[in-house]
Amino acid sequence: MKVIGQGLPRVEILEKVTGESVFGADVRLSSPLLFGKILGSPHAHARIKSIDTTKAERLPGVKAVVTAQDLPAVRYGRFVRDEEYFARTKVRLVGDRIAAVAALDEETAEEALRLIKVDYEVLRPVTDALEAMREGAPLIHEEYDRYHAISMMEGRKGNICYHKKTVQGDIERGFQEADRIFEHRFYAPMVHQTYIEPHAVLARVDASGKVTVWVPTQAQFFIRQSVAEIFELPLIKVRVIPTEIGGGFGGKLLPTIEPAAVALARKSGMAVQIVMSRAEDFQVANPRHPCHMRYKTGVKLDGTIVAREVEVVLGTGAYCGIGAVTCQRVEMLAAGPYRIPNVKIDLFCVYANHANCGPYRAPAGPQLAFASESQIDIIARELELDPVEMRLKNAIEEGDTTPASGGPLKSVHAKATLLKVAEAAHWRVKPREKNRGRGIALGYWLVGGYASSAGVKLNEDGTVTVMTGVVDLSGTVTSLGQIVAEVLGVELDDVHVRTADSDFAPHSTISAGSQGLRSMGTATKMAAEEVKKQIMEVAADKLEAETSDLMVEGKRVYVRGSIEKGLSLGQVAQLSLVHKQGPIVSIQSSSHFPNQPAFSAHVTDVEVDPETGGVKILRYVAAQDVGTAINPLSVRGQIQGSVMQGLGQALSEACTFANGKMLNPSFLDYKIFSSLDAPRVEVYLVEHAAEDGPFGAKGIGEPSIIPVPAAVANAVRDAVGVSIFDLPLTAERVLKAIQEKNQRR
Amino acid sequence: MAEIKKRIRVTVNGERYEKDVSPAKSLLDFLRTDLNLTGTKEGCGEGECGACSVILNGRLVDSCLILAFEAEGQEIQTIEGISRHDRLHPLQKAFAEKGAAQCGYCTPGMIMAAKYLLDHNPSPTPEQTLTAIAGNLCRCTGYGSIVDAILSAAKER
């Protein structure tokens, strides 16, 4: 292969390094612009008695004020219709939307917000999922029974929005057969994606009533659908133009400020821009679900796992959002990538008066792995087994199934990934210095694939244009170009590929779930192959040859064995214009990708300061089962960045709340890793071409974050002999555990 | 609302500008809205993320923390001003080649911080480089490729 496997710079890189790229807040129109602001509730739980916007409307410079009264009475939600865009009768989180204003400048918009008078009857908030499940807890959705829900939404009761039990084998007998049983509780708090670009949007409505929305989104077709649903518009009346996106990590999938901008633009007749402040983004965007986990595991003395019972309580926030799909993830992943004959998984998705949680890079993945892989490590120590050996003994293999995996799994490389990281990190040569330790963890993720379509056309000079609507987060678009270049025997420079908008791109998958390249890459490859077929047909006519004798490479098509007997792709493109076939172009679709496993195994060395509890990462080694790396530069970069986010989750990040109000909504108090905290992440790729996926590529983005908190917790245990069951492993927490351990002596 | 504006004269990327600005306007806002130089980004508006880094009279600053009128009479350099005659600055080239920009949102500020470093220390060590970009948050790369790019640009210059 010539272009696949090359670590080429991203196709849009020059715009990015020169500052030319247009991100959400960079869109400029020739018409004047209004600044929009959203009024959020100051209370986590309250009834709305009245809303008075008259003073705000009268403020000079204010061009529109909107509330629920200005929108159709539409209740939405993918699994259960529990959400209204603006609150009508009740607020359920701090920041729940009450109203929005658009004004000539930002200061006036802010002043207008202060003039809106809302009368609340404040209710007792319930901000933790376990508390919300208790008998007598205040009900967050009193009318829950009347909401429309899809049929999978079983077990709804009180604040429990979804409850599912999964059993495999005979769990009681499994525990009876066990020589030892271990049970631990873990907690992972809410953490935020903290893309550096806050949410931003610009909306305009033209004279025909057509809405155009410029937005940095991971899912332009989903935003189009949501806007159309909320405003009861046909899809052709909504155009979403995805801008460059300054990081998403799942946080820019669901609609947030788009409908407000649209409502203001419709009411004012002018273009409206809304940009979230960092504090707003922290408080009301859609962070990672806080997760309570109980793991009970039965093992034989040789380390064989015979039974595992997992209970997970996921705080979904004020609304269900993607809580139910995150629960499906939990069902698939909770037991870990191990052959376990008897499994029981009990999972609860629970409302609480906090931010509406959403997708963040491997939803539920790092939380579950923190619990599962910490416990495996504790068991290995208790049984005096090597942690790598214990995992190798139980790891799944080709053709195995795991709960909810959807059938036997193909392209399973758990063991190869473990062995790779152990070798790269010199696992057996352990650090001997005092207070230093080493930890390992295995990450497991299942990647599916949603429907996608893509187009490829041959231009009159032999260059190629790709038509795709997939948004580029991690180099996907460049990889699509590489796929097309490989199929058509041209260079990446001969291919133009950029994201087109919702009016012009064929339906595209979301840029999430690690499936963008698998899904869109497959459709794109099919379209390129069809274009290649058309090239050969036109050339075969002209060259009086059989298509089976033709080669397409080096920007030419020629008769195999006689390279001079051929045509340039430009000649073919021009011939095709007068050929019976017409212009060479193809749009192809793909759908229904079975679950494909992807593994990541990480080893880290840490040093713990026994005086402060501070944890320093000395070394970080990540091995990942990536199938074929279409672009190793992108793949490595994505893994390195993902590990850094995981380290934040492991050591420093947590959204903290008082009465539902976030206490640390700034980069000063919510600590993500800076360059001074960052270790150099060593990446090792385990490349075995996958069963399906373009050129054997697998999903990359999510598996890479999953094992990080567990690897760190296991290294801390190795260093100072303490187990931490709550994330993050702050210095205070580690110090407290060390002190407790010393007191026990 | 009528508000009192103040006239300022600044030189940005070698071009002189004279504009009336509101006294509360930040330098970042002035660059982005009055001069339409949107290469400089806002990530937090609180001086914590560095996305708005520019060079003001030879100092690296967070332009969100400075009022536009404080820049009166001064020289400002932004990402738009560092490539000359369509030739990329060595840092821009190195960032492109080393995969040091993924989403690209922190990139303009990051490159300005790196430029400030190389202007004062043409051959920095990896540690000095990590320190120089400590005020610029990146959520995509994990910083390794950024350090590689800066060190490689230092060699190029």
Residue A525 predicted with pLDDT over 60: yes
Nearest to A474 among B37, B44, B102 (CB): B102
**Do A421 and A551 belong together in one domain?**
no
Residue A172 lies in a domain: no
Residue A26 lies in a domain: yes
* Token pair for A469: 């609507």
Residue B2 predicted with pLDDT over 70: no
Question: pLDDT tens digit string along A118-160?
Answer: 999 999 999 999 999 999 999 999 988 889 999 888 888 899 9
Cβ neighbours of A170 (radius 10 Å):
14
CB contact under 8 A, B144 and A681: yes
**Ramachandran area for residue A695 (φ above 0: left; ψ -120 to 50: alpha; else beta):** left
| CA–CA gap between residue B63 and residue A466 (Å, rounded) | 39
CB contact under 8 A, B1 and A25: no
**Do A738 and A687 belong together in one domain?**
yes
- CATH number of the domain to which A510 belongs: 3.30.365.10
* Chain A residue at shortest CA distance from B137: A674
Q: How many domains does the structure of chain A reveal?
A: 3
Residue A669 lies in a domain: yes
Q: At A21, phi and psi to the nearest 5? A: -55, 140
Angle among Cα A38, A242, A283 to the nearest 5 degrees reads 30
- Within 13 A of A417's CA, how many CA atoms are on the CB side? 34
pLDDT bin (cut points 50, 70, 90) of residue B157 is: confident
**Do A455 and A444 belong together in one domain?**
no
Residue A178 lies in a domain: no
* Chain B residue at shortest CA distance from A475: B102
| CA–CA gap between residue B59 and residue A19 (Å, rounded) | 20
Q: pLDDT value at position A740?
A: 96
Residue A660 lies in a domain: yes
Nearest-Cα distance to chain A for B73, in Å, is 25
Question: pLDDT tens digit string along A439-483?
Answer: 999 999 999 999 999 999 999 999 999 999 999 999 999 999 999
**Beta-strand pair A271-275/A90-91:** unpaired
CB within 8 Å of chain B, chain A residues 422-461: none
- Residues making up chain A, counted from first to last: 745
* Token pair for A240: 């979403």
**Do A641 and A709 belong together in one domain?**
yes
CB within 8 Å of chain B, chain A residues 459-518: 473-475
Tell me whether the CATH fold assigned to B6-81 matches the one assigned to B90-156.
no
| CA–CA gap between residue A51 and residue A53 (Å, rounded) | 6
Q: What average pLDDT does the segment A516-529 reach?
A: 97
* Chain A residue at shortest CA distance from B78: A19
Residues of chain B with C-beta less than 8 angstroms from the C-beta of A646: none
Question: pLDDT tens digit string along A720-730?
Answer: 999 999 999 99
| CA–CA gap between residue A696 and residue A722 (Å, rounded) | 42
For A174-243, give the DSSP string. Answer: HHHH-SEEEEEEEEE-------SSPPEEEEEE-TT--EEEEE--S-HHHHHHHHHHHHT--GGGEEEEE-
The mean pLDDT value of chain A amounts to 96
Q: At A674, phi and psi to the nearest 5? A: -100, 180
Q: pLDDT value at position A509?
A: 93
Nearest to B105 among A12, A23, A673 (CB): A23
* Token pair for A533: 């077929």
Q: Which of A10, A13, A17 is the best residue to mutate to test the B interface, defined by the most B CB atoms within 10 Å of its own CB?
A: A17
**Do A492 and A633 belong together in one domain?**
no
Q: Do you find a cis peptide bond into A728, omega within 30 degrees of 0?
A: yes
CB contact under 8 A, B140 and A247: yes
Three-class DSSP category at A542? helix
* Token pair for A301: 């003395």
Nearest-Cα distance to chain A for B131, in Å, is 6
For A228-287, give the DSSP string. Answer: HHHHT--GGGEEEEE-B-S--TTTTSS-SSHHHHHHHHHHHSSEEEEE--HHHHHHHS--
Is the pTM value of this prediction over 0.90?
A: yes
For A642-671, give the DSSP string. Answer: HHHHHHHHHHT----EETTEES--STTTS-
* Chain A residue at shortest CA distance from B104: A16
Query: Final residue of a domain: which of A232, A261, A284?
Result: A284
**Do A370 and A488 belong together in one domain?**
no
Q: pLDDT value at position A431?
A: 83
Which pairs count as long-range contacts for A392-398, CB under 8 Å and 24+ apart, including other chains?
A: A392/A418, A392/A419, A393/A302, A393/A303, A393/A304, A394/A303, A394/A304, A394/A305, A394/A338, A394/A339, A394/A340, A395/A337, A395/A338, A395/A339, A395/A442, A396/A337, A396/A338, A396/A339, A396/A597, A397/A339
User: CA nearest A87: which of A50, A133, A114?
Assistant: A50
User: CA nearest A512: which of A358, A693, A728?
Assistant: A358
Q: pLDDT value at position A745?
A: 77
**Do A271 and A333 belong together in one domain?**
no
Q: Which amino acid is at B133?
A: I
Task: With beta carbons less than 8 A apart as the criterion, state whether A353 and A660 touch.
Answer: yes
pLDDT bin (cut points 50, 70, 90) of residue A563 is: confident
CB contact under 8 A, B105 and A197: yes
The strand pairing partners of A464, in sequence order, are A458, A495
Q: Which of B25, B143, B147, B151 is the best residue to mutate to test the A interface, defined by the most A CB atoms within 10 Å of its own CB?
A: B143
Query: Final residue of a domain: which of A545, A562, A590?
Result: A590
Cβ neighbours of A668 (radius 10 Å):
11
pLDDT bin (cut points 50, 70, 90) of residue A342 is: very high
Range of the domain at A336: 291-448+594-744
Residues of chain A with C-beta less than 8 angstroms from the C-beta of B38: 19, 22-23, 25-26, 28
Nearest to A60 among B1, B130, B138 (CB): B1
User: CA nearest A125: which of A358, A356, A351, A319?
Assistant: A351
Please tell me the least confidently modeled range out of A478-482, A592-596, A663-667, B8-12: A592-596
For A94-143, give the DSSP string. Answer: TT-EEEEEEESSHHHHHHHHHH-EEEEEE-----SHHHHHSTTPPPS-TT
Three-class DSSP category at A352? coil
**Do A55 and A78 belong together in one domain?**
yes
**Do A436 and A454 belong together in one domain?**
no
Count of CB pairs separated by less than 8 Å, A with B: 176
Q: Which of A6, A63, A192, A675 is the best residue to mutate to test the B interface, defined by the most B CB atoms within 10 Å of its own CB?
A: A675
Question: pLDDT tens digit string along B40-53?
Answer: 999 999 999 999 99
Residue B1 predicted with pLDDT over 70: no
Residue A657 predicted with pLDDT over 70: yes
Residue A342 lies in a domain: yes
Q: Is A96 exposed, middle or buried (0-12, 13-18, 19+ CB in 10 A)?
A: buried
Question: pLDDT tens digit string along A29-42?
Answer: 998 999 999 999 99
Q: What average pLDDT does the segment A639-657 reach?
A: 98
**Do A605 and A703 belong together in one domain?**
yes
Task: With beta carbons less than 8 A apart as the criterion, state whether A292 and A130 touch.
Answer: yes
Three-class DSSP category at A64? strand
Please tell me the least confidently modeled range out of A238-242, A264-268, A439-443, A509-513: A509-513
CB of A58 within 8 Å of a chain B CB? The answer is: no
Which residue is it, tokens 């209204």? A84
CB of A7 within 8 Å of a chain B CB? The answer is: yes
- Residues making up chain B, counted from first to last: 157
Helix axes A323-333, A365-382, angle to 10 degrees: 30
Question: pLDDT tens digit string along A16-27?
Answer: 999 999 999 999
- CATH number of the domain to which A265 belongs: 3.90.1170.50
pLDDT bin (cut points 50, 70, 90) of residue A77 is: very high
Q: Domain B90-156 falls in which CATH fold?
A: DNA polymerase; domain 1 (1.10.150)
Residue A355 predicted with pLDDT over 60: yes
Residues of chain B with C-beta less than 8 angstroms from the C-beta of A23: 38, 41, 105
| CA–CA gap between residue A738 and residue A260 (Å, rounded) | 50
Q: pLDDT value at position A329?
A: 92
Helix then strand then coil, % of chain B, to nearest 5: 40, 20, 45
Task: With beta carbons less than 8 A apart as the criterion, state whether B147 and B126 touch.
Answer: yes
CB contact under 8 A, B43 and A196: yes
Q: Domain limits of chain B? A: 6-81, 90-156
Residue A331 lies in a domain: yes
**Do A324 and A414 belong together in one domain?**
yes
Q: Which of B53, B140, B150 is the best residue to mutate to test the A interface, defined by the most A CB atoms within 10 Å of its own CB?
A: B140
pLDDT bin (cut points 50, 70, 90) of residue A287 is: very high
DSSP A288: P
Residue A430 predicted with pLDDT over 90: no
pLDDT bin (cut points 50, 70, 90) of residue A339 is: very high
| CA–CA gap between residue A744 and residue A724 (Å, rounded) | 16
* Token pair for A494: 């001969």
Nearest-Cα distance to chain B for A198, in Å, is 6
**Do A555 and A606 belong together in one domain?**
no
CB contact under 8 A, A640 and B144: yes
CB contact under 8 A, B24 and A107: yes
pLDDT bin (cut points 50, 70, 90) of residue B156 is: confident
Nearest-Cα distance to chain B for A23, in Å, is 8
Residue A90 predicted with pLDDT over 60: yes
Q: Which of B31, B52, B95, B102 is the best residue to mutate to test the A interface, defined by the most A CB atoms within 10 Å of its own CB?
A: B102
Q: What average pLDDT does the segment A431-437 reach?
A: 93
| CA–CA gap between residue A37 and residue A673 (Å, rounded) | 30
| CA–CA gap between residue A296 and residue A303 (Å, rounded) | 15
Q: Does domain B6-81 have CATH number 3.10.20.30?
A: yes
Torsion of CA A669, A247, A106, B76, to 10 degrees: 90
